[in-house]
Amino acid sequence: MTGGGEFRRIAVDLDVHRAIERARLALGESDNDILRRLLLSPGGARRSPTSPGEAGSGLRGPARRRGLWSVEIAGRRLPAANLKHAWCLLLGELDAAYPHFLEELAAEKERTRRAVARTPAALYGPRAAHLARRHAFPLAGGWYVDTNLSAAQVAKRARIAARLCGLHYGSDVRILDNLREI
């Protein structure tokens, strides 16, 4: 307990509970700590996300920090808050270094979904508008990235991204979770 006061039980509905969970920054953070941060810190409730490391989808508050994620490109290690942030960070770094990379990646279609697209709807197809609303994350330059991915799916797409840039996943480029390659 950080505030020094007494605890008392309060009833919250499912939507409020979900909002508390979305605002959780670490697994060890208590509900009281989350509410204290959001309600009592200056600007806490009005904080707007600025990057995938801080944002769920840009609409749902700060992302949870899970594991010790990082991206390695040419021996340079870049820290990431979580898998989603690592994936977006990798795409941003490759896009900055390799012109037309995102166009080439957008042309690669994985079953029914694309890794990146110019519109959220183009990521998932016409039957999955609910996924586009919830999981399409904006990248620079008007691109959107699919973030509804498991670690295995991100690893597979990262291998494709490396190949499109003429790089080898595992030596030139890799995403790490607790210093282990995914």
Give residue 46's pLDDT: 37
Below-70 pLDDT ranges, the chain: 1-4, 26-27, 41-67
- Residue 166's SS3 state is coil
- Residue 78's SS3 state is strand
Q: Are 106 and 124 in contact (CB under 8 A)?
A: no
Give residue 63's pLDDT: 52
CA pair distance 177, 83, nearest whole angstrom: 8
What does CATH list as the number for 1-47? 1.10.1220
Q: Are 155 and 83 in contact (CB under 8 A)?
A: no
CA pair distance 104, 26, nearest whole angstrom: 36
Torsion of CA 117, 118, 124, 130, to 10 degrees: 140
Q: What is the DSSP letter of 141?
A: G
